Amino acid sequence: MENIPIIPGRGLILPSAIKMRHDYLESEGHKINSISDYQLNISEIQNNIESFIGSVEIPLGIVGPLLYKHDKGEELVYTAAGTLEGAMVASMNRGAKAISQSGGFNAAILHQRMVRAPLFIFSDLNNAKIFLQWIGKNFRLIKEITSNYSNHAKLLEIKPIMIGKGVHLKFVYSTGDASGQNMTTTCTWHAILWIAETFQNETEISIERFTLEGNGASDKKISQYSILEGRGVHVTAECNLTDEVIRKVLRTTADDMLAFYHSSKAMATIDGMMGYNINVANAIAAIFVATGQDLGSIHESAIGILNLEKAGDGLYVSLNLPALVIGTIGGGTHLQKQRESLELMRCFGSRKINRFASLIAGFSMALEISTYAAIVSGAFAKAHEKLGRNKPVNWLLKSEINKLFISKIIDNKISNNELISMEITNQMLIENGIITNLTNKISKKLIGFIPITIEYIENQKNVHQQLIIKSKALDLEVIKGLHLLAANIDTQLADLISTHKEKMEYWNCHQKEIALYQALSQNNYKYMPHFWGSFVDQSREIYIFLQEYLHPSGLVHINTQKQPEVWTKQQIEKVISAITEVHQYFESPSNRPADVEIKEFKPWESKPLYAQFISIMIKEASGTNMQLTLMKLLLFLEEFEEEFILLKIPKTIIHNDFNSRNIAIRKAIPNHISQNEEIPCIYDWELAVVNIPHRDIVEFLSFVLVDGFQTEDLNHFLSFHFSLYKTMDDSLVESDWKQGYIYALKEFLVTRVSFYEVAGIHARYAFSERIMKNSFRMLEILSAI
């Protein structure tokens, strides 16, 4: 025992004491470099922590807007939610959307209480009974004692419970805007000191033992008492969900939700569950973390009683939280970030406790509704379904990306001796694309963009170069990501994606992009980022390549999918010319990558899949006219194979994601030999397929043509495209060529725009509606010619 060390400076939160603790832990072989890198102001946490060594970060997500109705009107409210559980914030937002679109929620506060329960032990039963009666007669004096030690705690009653020769006294307080554990402890302690002295003096009966807490307060514990009598704030929230919202937002029906509710509630009773809810604790914990609440009270605060009733065609939903231990002052609420989270809810400070409880109940109800609907609809199971094998793989680690690793990739560009250094940097702002973001939801492997800076010697000079590593997800992982997205929208769609995965453009995506960059680079194609090399290790599922970082300062356009007005006529023509160069090169199968299969795209072989996409679009559409327009897509799907066979157009490898999200325009550099004019830069070839070249052209135009574009503009660009081919093959007939645009527009609408629109149910793409309108307008113009 004498050899057990003492951590230095345990009672002090001073820089010197903190350093002593860091040094001590390091001397014991414990590395806490990240933990010790804290941003907290230590002067603000003096009463919140002991033996401080640092902090950890928990990411916060925003939930809302949620429509809240109260006696002064209604408002849209938000909350920050701290969690490391993926999909939880998204589920809370889905529930908030359902509540808001159904007219919002309201809440009622029954009471706010905090309890301390001291225990007094006597020599026999008779003395205990005398003590119990004495307490009842002296309540007013005891209340006066407690009031001397707090401005917020008000003693409401004392509930005595005699067990044998022991007497438990439940001191029941209201504590205003504070949760009240500490203040009621102080008040009760001084009260029992007065009780012990005064009772013994007046009655000459000895109290053998007494203690501040005899475990009757249910402090940080779940109890039936807390459910029935309340501890903390007792709040109930309610809403009425409409049938339309249940179907469109929650993807289930009121009848299905009710059918499972009654049976599952019966099972909860059999199992002896305290209350009945789905996952209230997730929402409570997330809001507690964000707002500086007592995390030890999460489980008692998460006692919840969820109630569902039939209400017309929809559902009446209520959530009762009888023991919400919270505060808008005190505890950790004074810390800057926690205070900001409370201020976001307009709940910081005095006289805000009822609002805070109401909003917690509303956001918790949102999560309950969303999660329960996902379970009932099957989306919950589908989202967790395993696709393909799950064998352990030695994935690439970020720590492996070093100078030696990079030198293997670029050995044909720079010799190892000339590469001086390599470092991963956070200075380059790069956003991953749709596919990478989806895949990161289901995989923990290193996927996406990794910015690096290398230093090397060129012509006896040191050169610094910013580059991008792109680590590819496997095609099966991409399919898993799509499956997860679909499972939260329509379980049948999720099944169809699994069934038709090998016929979709995502198949082989991890190999196609690398192979096409290599082929284009070897052909000295100038309309792409400079390609520095690739590395593949199939056994470790490593598929990466290294390319130039497109610095915004050197670009006229990048990521302009929401800005069609910035594109000039000349820029659009240059892009069409640049992609046509690729199309014409890959017309010859001998020029195509030999070691990677790039399939011909045949959407008619996956009719059920695309028909389901379209059916969901029709259900989501607002207005009969739009529904009738979208129903045309089903007809297009039926005619695809016959139309495609009749086309007199050569097939080639197309980009298949050819839009202003994947096309930049480089600035002209005065007096530069190879870049004295603006030139396009095309990237992200992972969805490439064999198809007609028209498909890339119509997609590009749907993005860069402005709303209400002129027929003359469309005709000009299509004629320009045709002329590029006509110069190569004078036998081409323009009327035959035009049929390719009509087919390509139909295919684009059915297979890609439908994806944007359906995926937008989960997270809206700002450009989706515009490109759909443009595509239908182009189709209308071409069909009328």
CA distance linking residue 369 with residue 250, whole number of Å? 8
Dihedral pair phi/psi, residue 164, rounded to 5°: 65, -130
Contact between residue 473 and residue 443 where contact means Cβ atoms under 8 Å apart: yes
- Which two tokens mark 618? 């029709």
Half-sphere exposure of residue 434: CA atoms within 13 angstroms, side-chain side: 19
**Which of 450, 411, 472 has the alpha carbon at shortest distance from 684?**
472
Whether 294 is catalytic: yes
Alpha helices by DSSP H, 148-241? 181-203, 224-229
Q: Which two tokens stand for residue 464?
A: 């610094």
Q: Decide if 68 contacts 86 (C-beta within 8 A).
A: no
Q: Which CA distances in Å does 515 have to 100, 222, 684?
A: 48, 60, 12
Q: How far apart are CA 569 and CA 717, in angstroms?
A: 9
Tokens of 640: 């695809």
Give the Cα separation of 343 and 349 in Å (integer): 9
Contact of 465 with 504, CB cutoff 8 Å: no
| Residue 384 annotated as catalytic | yes
Nearest alpha carbon to residue 423 among 440, 405, 442, 396: 405
C-alpha 317/C-alpha 330 separation (Å) is 33
Are β-strands 679-682 and 663-666 bridged in parallel, bridged antiparallel, or unpaired? antiparallel
| Single-letter code of the amino acid located at 294 | D
| Ranges of H-type helices in 550-606 | 569-586
Partners of 466 in the beta sheet? Answer: 453
Rounded-to-integer distance, Cα 578 and Cα 680, Å: 7
- Catalytic pick from 219, 294, 495, 541? 294
Cα(476)–Cα(493) distance, rounded to whole angstroms? Answer: 17
For residues 263 and 725, give the distance between their C-alpha atoms in angstroms, rounded to a whole number.
67
What are the φ/ψ torsions at residue 494 (nearest 5 degrees)? -60, -45
Q: How distant, in Å, are the alpha carbons of 511, 518, 537, 659, 687 from that of 506?
A: 11, 19, 20, 17, 6
What is the radius of gyration, based on Cα positions, of the chain?
A: 34
SS3 627: helix
Contacts of 178 (CB under 8 A, 6+ apart): 152, 327, 328, 329, 330, 331
User: Does residue 18 contact residue 9 with C-beta atoms inside 8 Å?
Assistant: yes
Tell me whether residue 147 is exposed, middle or buried, using C-beta atoms within 10 angstroms of its C-beta: 0 to 12, 13 to 18, 19 or more: middle
Structure tokens given for 720? 């320009």
Active site residue 475: no
Paired with 454 in beta bridges are: 422, 465
Among 50, 75, 384, 780, which one carries the catalytic annotation?
384
Nearest Cα neighbor of 243 from 77, 103, 378 is 103
User: Taking each helix axis from N to C terminus, what angle separates 125-137 and 181-203, rounded to the nearest 10 degrees?
Assistant: 110
Compute the distance between CA of residue 734 and CA of residue 728 in angstroms, rounded to an integer. Answer: 14
| Backbone torsions φ then ψ of 101, nearest 5 degrees | -70, -15
- For residues 491 and 593, the answer to whether their CB atoms sit within 8 Å is no
The single residue of 85, 202, 208, 400 carrying the catalytic annotation is 85
Going by the DSSP 8-state scheme, the letter that residue 60 receives in this structure is E
Q: How far apart are CA 761 and CA 487, in angstroms?
A: 12
Contact 245, 293 (CB under 8 A): no
Residue reference for tokens 């090169």: 585
Active site residues: 85, 294, 384
